[in-house]
Structure 1
């Protein structure tokens, strides 16, 4: 998953970044609304974590403008305000959830999972395709009766493919989904991760095929 964190408190932002990146999520950090808009103009995100009080404005205006443009990216608001009216206000503006500071990081992770699960239209994180069962949140893959251990990037690459079976992903798009702006990588890295993932999928009834000149796609054999 690729997240956008909009938070001006450096110590809190770094703690959130460290926690989410441990689960191999790609996270870009914007300390203000201007930076957030710049990130959002060039990249698709699975989830936005949005602070309210920012140096150059109110996070609620960012949320409101995106909902008015019919953008449906899930948003969890990070707020120090505990009044019911404040919480109701951000939900009415289009937030999918909120969490009150200070919060436990395990609760933040759980709320992220819940929001993404609801947006995916399911009650479970598990995805089934061919002869495999994959839970991107738990980081587990079962091929038939065999449990497979994936490295972080392999895990997120499979998550991208299974999010849209049959869709062709270019190397550039996969780089965008797997790496943050802070990471300097070439498209050749994608070939390495695709090669590793193909080996893990042997016997699954699923394959990643190369579409010459276009990229890769996952499909059932």
Structure 2
């Protein structure tokens, strides 16, 4: 895909997310990893609904700005997810309402922020980790994400929002949308004793679709 096409794709998905109220004002950011190891990333203080392809930040593999506007201050969290998640080619970070609300609930398990509510949540977002609160742009958030060792493609930042990686920008956007809708379902059904997918049903999805879920890894900490 050409540079111009990649820039247009970032703007198109950004506008779609913004127009549907998934990230307000100038919140949220999108990055796309390039074949040379560099990135295209949305600029700081830019609304995802009004991006200019020519002003998208172009970074080299070391994260140095080559062209375009100053990049988002959330570069550390993008870097950490790319470094630990080898298959990641794009990352979407939003301030979507229901996902943010979910992070504030006391019962949320940091290793599995959402239960297995629907097959498409597991198929697109996998399981979701919750990391503690850090101020926006704090390099410490990168260490928290690195501590997950690449096991999760979707991460919730407490009191802040989701960060989701995908093997394409489309995949990252779809996974972020699925995470937001599942958080909404959880809030709607909270304390109503809903019926989640059973362990057998989850195992069937893992086996049928080859899902990479942390809880199904061969280790003892999940």
TM-score (norm 1): 0.29
Bigger CA radius of gyration: 1
**Relative contact order, higher structure (CA 8 A, sep 6+):** 2
More strand by share: 1
